[in-house]
Amino acid sequence: MDAAIRVEHLSKRFGRLEVLRDVSCAVAEGEVVCIIGPSGSGKSTLLRCMNGLEEASSGQVFVHGVAVHDRATDLDTVRREIGMVFQRFNLFPHKTVLENITLAPGLLRGLAASEARERAEALLAKVGVLEKRDAWPNQLSGGQQQRVAIARALAMQPKIMLFDEPTSSLDPEMVGEVLAVMQALADEGMTMAVVTHEMGFARRVADRVLFLDEGRLLESGSPAEVFEQPREERTRQFLSKIL
């Protein structure tokens, strides 16, 4: 049984800057993995290598056994099975909330317009913004936009969801509503990789926590292990600053 995501000896350089150094990790089917670490530690880059938005400098990334690092692989097909949620939402501003969600399933899953619409409305109800279906993205609050972005990713019925600091550009009072949607998704058994600074969420929801520092994977374990008994001094320092 292959893991949902398997990363082996992954390194990534931007010019002379080494962002990831020989990182190996895996996300099992149905597992929720939170990736934490100081800013600039390579967390987002690691996540973006998982769906090929960044290309590995060396090493291997497999998603359900498919080699994402291989240039011969058709990434468009792989990405249909991997939803991604961004820090800055990245909703399409020229499309309504509903159009944002139906665009990809209509084009790629061959859904009829009515079916795509029904499915989108069900997802909007699930994330609690159904009443905004005909609004434009810029008419929504940050929290609402991010929940629409989650619904947009879910509309492709992905098997894996990647979250890249999904609450970092939200006003504090809106963080909770987005985390609640993510927690519900985790409870349904979605395979998730989450880059986050929300330690409470990581502790409560994650099956496993990865700690990255200066491009190296320093620690990997259950929330209890990483938060209560970190093995590395560097992890202790980071946690003492943030908790």
Partner 1 sequence: MDAEILWFGWFRADIIQEYGALFWSGLRMTVGVTVVCILQGTLLGLVIGLARLATARNAVANAACRFLLRWPATVYISFFRGTPLFVQILLMHFAVVPLFLNPADGWLISGDLARDLRQDYGALITGIVSLTLNSAAYISEIFRAGIQSIDRGQMEAARSLGLSHARAMYHVVLPQAFRRMLPPLGNNAIALLKDSSLVSAVGLAELAYAARTVAGAYSRYWEPYLTISVMYWLLTLGLAWGVRHLEARYGRGDSR
Q: Which residues contact 149 (CB under 8 A, 6 or more apart)?
A: 85, 86, 89, 90, 91
Residue selected from 103, 130, 180, 239 as contacting partner 1 according to rule CB under 8 A: 103
- Minimum gap (Å) between residue 154 Cβ and partner 1: 11
Residue 55 has φ and ψ, to the nearest 5°, of -100, 135
Among 13, 21, 64, 95, binds partner 1 (CB under 8 A): 95
- Report the sign of the C-alpha dihedral through residues 151, 79, 179, 90, in that order: negative
Determine how β-strand 32-36 pairs with β-strand 191-195.
Answer: parallel
Nearer to partner 1, 77 or 237 (CB): 77
Binding-site size, partner 1 (CB under 8 A)? 32
List the structure tokens of 171.
Answer: 């006003």
Which 63-92 positions form the footprint of partner 1 (CB under 8 A)?
71, 75-77, 79-80, 82-84, 86, 88, 90-92
- What is the rounded distance in angstroms from the CA atom of residue 147 to the CA atom of residue 151? 6
* Closest by Cα among 221, 215, 197, 159 to 33: 221
Decide: is 104 part of the binding site for partner 1 (CB under 8 A): yes
The answer to whether 94 contacts partner 1 (rule: CB under 8 A) is yes
The region of 6-14, 35-43, 51-59, 225-233 touching partner 1 under the rule CB under 8 A is 51-59
Binding site for partner 1 (CB under 8 A): 51, 53, 55, 71, 75-77, 79-80, 82-84, 86, 88, 90-96, 103-104, 107-108, 136-138, 149, 152-153, 156
